[in-house]
């Protein structure tokens, strides 16, 4: 009777004559990190709890290597820029859920942040001057790349939050930020991904490069050949990664502050949640 009533209401049913299948080992995928909204590119998804815990430990120890591509407003004059501006959360009315740099009115709890920028090309986007850049975050603050580029005076094209005012950033069809390269050296395997460059004239007729500064292929090869950063305890300082090649390399990162008890307790809680359950 119950089965007939459910069928009459259009409720899907399971065949009770078949045995219940055991849970699949890959039934609960987990995102190991995040990309900003409208950012395309490489994203690591773990297929089970053990893999997620292994990947998370690499992020916590700052052993992950990441690089992004972006089109930013204006022509960046220096071929290489190291942006070292602390980033905090904005408490200004109307700017909820946004970040800001230290010294900005309403900037709360700024933390040390470091980004390395290399200019790849200069050109025009829809007739306006822009630069194609490679961004290597040395820390992992919320919205770090977008905030640092905006603070430099070269916001990401299409960034509605930190871009140019007056509705100009509503014209591009997307935010021009792309996760190009990702490497996670877990204890069991070295997860590595290099995605295609989406900012090409063949893919977007609005983008018209005219001056080449650094070939992207050489920088990608340098990223792939660079050693993995040494394990660290995840304090607030920048990771000990190898700078990108080229003239005017940035100075080595400053020593980081020791991990606080609060940070350690938070990390241990995360690890306990990701740790595989013991066999019964």
Q: How far apart are CA 42 and CA 66, in angstroms?
A: 9
Q: Which of these ranges, 54-63, 76-85, 270-279, has the smallest mean pLDDT?
A: 270-279
160 located within any domain:
yes
**36 an active-site residue?**
yes
Q: Which of 15, 36, 197, 279 is catalytic?
A: 36
Does the structure show a pLDDT above 50 at 82? Answer: yes
6 located within any domain:
no
Torsion of CA 110, 114, 119, 124, to 10 degrees: -20
For residues 188-213, give the mean pLDDT.
Answer: 95
Contact 85, 102 (CB under 8 A): yes
244 located within any domain:
no
69 located within any domain:
yes
Q: What share of the chain is helix, strand, coil (3-state, %, to 5)?
A: 20, 25, 55
Query: What is the predicted pLDDT for the residue at 19?
Result: 55
Query: What is the predicted pLDDT for the residue at 170?
Result: 73
pTM: 0.75
254 located within any domain:
no
Percent share of the chain, pLDDT over 90: 56
Structure tokens at 168: 């100009």
Domain that holds residue 161: 28-228
Contact 194, 178 (CB under 8 A): no
Does the structure show a pLDDT above 60 at 236? Answer: no
The domain that holds 140 is classified in CATH as: 3.30.2350.10
Closest CA to 44 of 68, 66, 24: 66
- What is the total count of domains within the chain? 1
User: In the predicted model, what is the mean pLDDT of the chain?
Assistant: 81
């Amino acid at each position: 009777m119950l089965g007939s009533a459910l069928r009459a209401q259009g409720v899907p049913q399971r065949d009770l004559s078949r045995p219940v299948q055991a849970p699949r080992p890959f039934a609960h995928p987990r995102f190991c990190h995040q990309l900003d909204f409208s950012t395309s590119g490489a994203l690591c998804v773990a297929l089970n709890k053990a893999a997620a815990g292994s990947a998370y430990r690499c992020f916590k120890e700052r052993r992950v290597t990441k690089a992004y591509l972006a089109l930013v407003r204006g022509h960046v004059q220096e071929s290489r820029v190291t942006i070292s501006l602390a980033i905090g959360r904005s408490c200004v009315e109307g700017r909820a859920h946004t970040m800001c740099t230290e010294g900005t009115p309403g900037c709360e709890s700024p933390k040390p942040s470091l980004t390395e920028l290399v200019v790849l090309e200069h050109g025009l986007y829809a007739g306006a001057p822009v630069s194609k850049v490679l961004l290597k975050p040395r820390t992992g603050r919320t919205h770090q790349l977008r905030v640092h580029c905006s603070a430099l005076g070269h916001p990401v094209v299409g960034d509605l939050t930190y871009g140019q005012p007056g509705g100009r950033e509503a014209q591009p069809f997307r935010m021009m930020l792309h996760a190009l390269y990702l490497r996670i050296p877990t204890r069991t395997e070295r997860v590595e991904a290099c995605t295609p460059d989406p900012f090409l004239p063949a893919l977007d007729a609005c983008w018209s490069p005219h001056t080449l500064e650094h070939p992207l292929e050489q920088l990608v090869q340098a990223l792939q050949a660079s050693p993995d950063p040494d394990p660290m305890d995840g304090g607030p300082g920048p990771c000990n990664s190898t700078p990108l090649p080229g003239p005017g390399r940035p100075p080595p990162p400053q020593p980081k502050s020791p991990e606080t008890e609060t940070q350690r307790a938070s990390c241990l809680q995360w690890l306990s949640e990701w740790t595989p359950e013991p066999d019964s």
